[in-house]
């Protein structure tokens, strides 16, 4: 692997002092991820100090460390390791000639980030970098920048937030050439108070745009004009995506044989027809956002269409598993990583459209960070559950009681306390031909339900 950082470059970027000369090929602050040649940053933590894990990092053959106290291993000594990570990310951005795409939104940002990456990598293979997992906060974003190879031509970086001002700080670090807002929904409304405030917080991404920057905005959002006004203060150009008069819009979007969608999209100067394997109207919107990015940077839309056709499911965000049950197979749809009212409604609609399902089962846990709106927003899911023709509903935790009350006996409900009980209940309920949706905010832990069922019941295919 090519050299990512030398000890001299790390010291220059962080203002630290190198104990010896070394070179690294990767960067991490998680000792469990350290591999040969990596740089381990001993970050402070709320429970554990990263310095406690220096021996493990050394045992895993870390080539160097960033520490705030001397150790008996090649290192760069700094006063504040958290600040050093920020400095290293900033230095990576400053030395890079890459075109940077920043992605944010209430829903769809990780899926859209992955889809943009796939589209650009099909066009420029081996020259595209992206943030992994959902590394989208004050530590994940600088880490993703610090990991960006020198030869990167394009990078796709996700930015998230819980409060006002957080994306503003991240976007000034990332300095995107293209800034994408996927959608606005009442996620984090507990901290921000209204959807308008959420839109304003997401629009902070435009503040970091480079001088010739492009803003990509969802045309179908009720907050479109609010986003456009914010973008005009910083963007050289605005491209909208969606339906109607959007710059990039779907001329036709119909169900494909594979359950996804066949889309003909009108771009700025041409049309392109392609398929996506992912189910649901929200994925049509994600695909249009991808094409808007490709158009903005002068990429190859036809290759982007091929990449979208080949894009597989993403763990926790729609990945599909065929699992064996007594007498046959069942479909398990993993949406366990995140949940808010918009994504709940969209995935329930997709469940209702599953062709060939003998029964539809939904395992739903709470949506977090809804504050005083939580009870009403959970109750408001009832029409989506009914429209999806859910036969069995497993509700996890007391926070789901408003939904049960709103359903008023129209769907058979099993109440459980936690993820372990949800897995037990689902194991008892499953029959051949079932289609099962598992969805909640990540903190509920329903990913463990998926892991148990895919490992405990032999998985046929993904």
19 is in an annotated binding site: no
Please write down the HEC assignment for all residues of the chain.
CCCCEEHHHHHHHHCCEECCCCEECEEECCHHHCCCCEEEECCCCCCCCHHHHHHHHHHCCCCEEEECCCCCCCEEECCCHHHHHHHHHHHHHHHCCCEEEEEECCCCHHHHHHHHHHHHHHHCCCCEEECCCCCCCCCHHHHHHHCCCCCCCEEEEECCCCCCCHHHHHHHHHCCCEEEECCCCCCCHHHHCCHHHHHHHHHHHHHHCCCCCEEEEECCCCCHHHHHHHHHCCCCEEEEEECCCCCEEEEEEEECCCCCEEEEEECCCCEEEEEECCCCHHHHHHHHHHHHHHHHCCCCHHHHHHHHHHCCCECCEEEEEEEEECCEEEEEEEECCCCCHHHHHHHHHHHHCCCCCCEEEEEECCCCCCHHHHHHHHHCCHHHHHHCCCCEEEEECHHHHHHHHHHCCCCEEEEECCHHHHHHHHHHHCCCCEEEEEECCHHHCCHHHHHHHHHHCCEEEC
Cα–Cα distance measured from residue 308 to residue 84, given in angstroms and rounded to the nearest whole number: 37
Q: What is the DSSP string of 311-357?
A: ---BTTBBEEEEEEETTEEEEEEEE-S---HHHHHHHHHHHHT-TT-
What are the φ and ψ backbone dihedral angles of 345, each rounded to 5 degrees? -60, -40
Residue 110 in marked binding region: yes
144 is in an annotated binding site: no
Q: Any known ligand binding at 109?
A: yes
Strands (E), 374-452: 392-396, 412-416, 434-439
107 marked as part of a ligand binding site: yes
Separation between Cα atoms, residue 431 and residue 236, nearest integer Å: 55
Which amino acids are annotated as binding site for ATP, given as ranges? 105-111
Which amino acids are annotated as binding site, given as ranges? 105-111
């Amino acid at each position: 692997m090519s050299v990512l950082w030398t000890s001299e470059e790390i010291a220059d970027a962080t203002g630290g002092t190198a104990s010896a000369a070394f070179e690294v090929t990767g960067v991490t602050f998680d000792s469990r991820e350290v591999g040969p040649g990596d740089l381990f940053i001993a970050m402070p933590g709320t429970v554990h100090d990263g310095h406690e894990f220096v021996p493990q990092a050394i045992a895993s053959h870390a080539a160097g460390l960033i520490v705030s106290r001397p150790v008996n291993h090649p290192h760069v000594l700094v006063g504040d390791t958290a600040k050093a990570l920020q400095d290293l990310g900033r230095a990576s951005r400053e030395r890079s000639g890459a075109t940077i795409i920043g992605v944010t939104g209430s829903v769809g940002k990780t899926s859209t980030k992955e889809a943009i990456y796939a589209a650009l990598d099909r066009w420029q293979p081996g020259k595209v970098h992206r943030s992994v997992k959902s590394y989208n906060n004050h530590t994940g974003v600088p880490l993703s920048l610090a990991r960006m190879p020198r030869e990167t031509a394009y990078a796709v970086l996700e930015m998230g937030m819980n409060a006002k001002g957080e994306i503003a700080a991240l976007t000034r670090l990332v300095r995107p050439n293209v800034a994408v807002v996927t959608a606005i929904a009442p996620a984090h409304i507990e901290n921000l108070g209204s959807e308008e405030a959420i839109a304003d917080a997401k629009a902070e991404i435009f503040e970091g745009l480079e001088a010739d920057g492009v803003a990509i905005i969802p045309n179908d959002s009720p907050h479109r004009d609010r986003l456009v006004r914010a973008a005009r203060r910083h963007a050289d150009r605005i491209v909208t995506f969606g339906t109607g008069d959007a710059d990039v819009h779907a001329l036709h979007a119909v169900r494909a044989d594979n359950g996804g969608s066949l889309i003909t999209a009108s771009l700025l100067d041409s049309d392109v027809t392609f398929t996506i394997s992912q189910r649901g109207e929200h994925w049509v919107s994600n695909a249009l956002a991808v094409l808007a990015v490709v158009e903005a940077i002068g990429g190859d839309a036809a290759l982007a269409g091929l990449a979208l056709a080949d894009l597989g499911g993403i763990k926790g965000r729609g990945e599909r598993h065929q699992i064996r049950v007594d007498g046959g197979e069942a479909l398990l749809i993993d949406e366990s990583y995140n949940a808010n009212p918009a994504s709940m409604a969209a995935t329930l609609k997709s469940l209702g459209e599953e062709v060939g399902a003998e029964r539809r089962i939904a395992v739903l846990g709470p949506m977090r960070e809804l504050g005083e709106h939580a009870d009403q927003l959970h109750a408001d899911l009832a029409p989506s559950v009914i429209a999806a023709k859910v036969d069995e509903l497993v509700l996890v935790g007391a926070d789901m009681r408003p939904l049960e009350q709103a359903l008023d006996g129209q769907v058979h409900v099993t109440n459980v306390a936690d993820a372990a009980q949800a897995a037990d209940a689902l194991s008892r309920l499953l029959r051949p031909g079932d289609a099962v949706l598992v969805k909640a905010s990540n903190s509920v832990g329903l990913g463990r339900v998926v892991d148990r069922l895919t490992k405990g019941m032999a998985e046929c295919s993904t």
